[in-house]
Amino acid sequence: MERARDLSDPSARTAAGRDLSELPKAHLHLHFTGSMRHTTLLELADKYGVHLPDALRSGEPPKLRATDERGWFRFQRLYDAARSCLREPEDIRRLVREAAEEDLKDGSGWLEIQVDPTSYAPRLGGLIPALEVILDAVDSASEETGLGIRVLVAANRMKHPLDARTLARLAVRYADRGVIGFGLSNDERRGFARDFDRAFAIAREGGLLSAPHGGELTGPASVRDCLDDLHAGRIGHGVRAAEDPRLLKRLADRQITCEVCPASNVALGVYEKPEDVPLRTLFEAGVPLALGADDPLLFGSRLAAQYEIARHHHGFDDAELAELARQSIRGSLAPEERQRSMLAGVDAWLTG
């Protein structure tokens, strides 16, 4: 799948403009297993004797169309197959280090990576050891690469809300070790946001950002539910808010950042074509945006490629792309000093 990153390679560009891989930006929507390099997946699968589905082994982004039940099941099956290749602490360290390296290539100065540690607990000695392995890997990768990295612990909407409460308590316990937020992922068509309100209250009371997924596979109502029931400070995806002008105004007035993932939206069938993703609608309504890659392993493109989509399919000029980068930085939980440095870098990129 690394071939699909050509869009973010300067040699592959077809339109004039500053190098987007040099534009400082924050990456706020990246899932743990989905951040893996395709070459690493193949090596680990061979190491552990894991039979990968052809769609993963081929290196071409699969057609998922997760807007129907069969498509979402296929997406989950591929994700689970990839996750089964992460079995030892060294695999976790490798994944995080390589994710950091890829982000740096794309101009990221800050990464907030999302993980459900229960998915890795059976092979890493339990829930607490799994999270500690992940956080140790984040510390090492940050020190080795210089990229600022923090973790959002994410509950699974497909599991019982009591499981989410357990994760929220765990996330709060490790707030001084690099956990900065609490999320809610998987199929938003299942269950209600309010079922997880107590878990999110635990996380917020512990000082963590509330950052659930909403407004991807279902419409504006799921974004409103994230705001009303989970008191979201940031929304994972949120693109379907574009269908409701009142909701757009609410997001803009409260400056709630939406973590928009254009390539993912198209790969999962939320929109047919890149130009259908309502980037302009959100941007011009004043909703802060943070472009994200979501799951590069499955969708075939990383962070800079999302900015290329804004440039080539939505006509964003360099000044507007710089503003997108600023919004990602301001929407992050990076320390003020790092934010100032990155914002200064955006200005230098635009004027240089």
At residue 15 the predicted structure's pLDDT band, cuts being 50, 70 and 90, is very low
- Total count of domains within the chain: 1
Residue 5's pLDDT band (boundaries 50, 70, 90)? very low
Tell me whether residue 10 is in a domain.
no
Q: Is the pLDDT at 53 greater than 50, yes or no?
A: yes
Mean pLDDT of 168-172: 98
In this structure, how many other beta carbons lie within 10 angstroms of the beta carbon of residue 24? 22
Residue 299 in any domain: the answer is yes
The pTM score is: 0.93
- Domain with 196, as residue range(s), is 23-351
Question: Average pLDDT, stretch 76-93?
Answer: 96
CATH code, domain carrying 220: 3.20.20.140
311: pLDDT strictly greater than 80: yes
Lowest mean pLDDT segment, chosen from 56-65, 97-106, 132-141, 297-306? 56-65
32 within domain boundaries: yes
The confidence score (pLDDT) of residue 58 equals 86
Task: Kindly state the tokens that stand for 292.
Answer: 């994200």
pLDDT, mean of residues 301-327: 98
Candidates 112, 109, 143, 141; CA nearest to 22 is 109
Identity of the amino acid at 319: A
Give the residue-averaged pLDDT of 314-325: 98
- What pLDDT was estimated at residue 72? 81
Q: Is the pLDDT of residue 284 over 80?
A: yes
- pLDDT at 204 (0 to 100): 98
* Average pLDDT of every residue of the chain: 93
**80-87 average pLDDT score:** 96
Nearest to 35 by CA among 319, 242, 295, 274: 295
Which residues, 6 or more positions from 45, have their beta carbon under 8 angstroms from its beta carbon? 51, 52, 57, 85
- Residue of 138, 104, 142, 114 lying closest to 303 (CA atoms): 104
272 is a domain residue: yes
Better-scored residue on pLDDT, 79 or 66: 79
Residue 6 placed within a domain:
no
More confident call, 8 vs 23: 23
337 is catalytic: no
4 in any annotated domain = no
Q: What share of the chain in percent tops pLDDT 70?
A: 94
- Residue among 216, 259, 284, 336 flagged as catalytic: 216
Residue 269, pLDDT > 50, answer yes
pLDDT at residue 71 above 80? Answer: no
Which residues, in sequence order, are CB contacts of 122 under 8 Å at separation 6+?
none
231 within domain boundaries = yes
Residue 177 lies in a domain: yes
